[in-house]
Amino acid sequence: MKIIGDPETAGIFTSALRIDWRLPNICQVEKCEEKPFVIACFDETETTDKQPHHVVVCKKHHDEAKEKGKFKYTIDFDKRNIGV
């Protein structure tokens, strides 16, 4: 997993990527509606469907995953709140 983001600006520089990649402007962790903080990029070896994915994650879930040393959340790929 690679992280794209700029913690000093609270993720403002990821806005262009979110628009270009058609990602939602809310965290994609199931049942979360917080603002995006980073984009987590997973390659095909890291996903259950063997496809690469870009996932928008809020600060809370980013910090939790960083603290635990793993990213283990259910992702809602149907979120449609697209844009900045």
pLDDT in tens, 32-73: 999 888 999 999 998 889 999 999 999 999 999 999 998 889
pLDDT band at residue 82 using 50, 70 and 90 as cut-offs: low
Higher pLDDT, 22 or 83: 22
Closest CA to 52 of 41, 36, 62: 41
Task: Pull the structure tokens for residue 79.
Answer: 């979120």
Residue 8, pLDDT > 80, answer: no
Inter-residue long-range contacts of 45-49, CB under 8 Å, 24+ positions, other chains counted: 46/1
CA atoms within 13 A on the CB side of 68: 10
Q: What pLDDT is attached to residue 73?
A: 92
